[in-house]
Amino acid sequence: MPLLRRQLLPLPLLLLVPGTLGGCKSAGIREVYTSRDAAGRLRTQYFADDKTEIHVIIQMVSGREDAVLYVDLFVPEGSQAKLDRVEIAPGKGDHRIDLRLIMEDELHGTKDDDGPWPTGKYEVDLLIDAEYQETVVFYVGEV
């Protein structure tokens, strides 16, 4: 699962934690949502700008080994945070994919998984085999 990223500061990264359960005959997104925890119990579209985890939880099903999920993160306008497209090839079956936002400071060699995050509107586009599936919108520091 290659993760491409530009070396800019600050840099949010997405960490990938896929899980596998069963199978089906085609590839698709069953559900996608944002949460403040990896288990997905604290679902929300609104996050504090500091001291909070940000997770994008994707329920994907694929009947093929070669299906590829592409994830594009769009950060608030005016933010210096950047992330290139994430490519995930989970294989055949039911998958629960947890994309967790991490703030990385290359200059100081530090990582922080609970902010501070640039405030504003974030968008996550999901594509399977380069075909658009849906967009998830969430907000940081706005209610």
pLDDT surpasses 50 at 76: yes
pLDDT surpasses 90 at 115: no
Domain 11-140 matching CATH 3.40.50.920: the answer reads: no
Q: Mean pLDDT throughout 34-62? A: 95
Reduced to 3 states (helix: H, G, I; strand: E, B; else coil), residue 70 is strand
Residue 71: burial class (beta carbons within 10 Å; 0-12, 13-18, 19+): buried
Q: What is the pLDDT of residue 107?
A: 66
Q: How far apart are CA 137 and CA 121, in angstroms?
A: 7
The CA–CA distances, whole Å, from 37 to 5, 22, 30, 124 equal 24, 24, 19, 17
Tell me how far apart the terminal alpha carbons of the chain are, to the nearest angstrom: 34
Amino acid present at 38: A
Q: How confident is the model at residue 16 (pLDDT cuts 50, 70, 90)?
A: very low
pTM for the model: 0.77
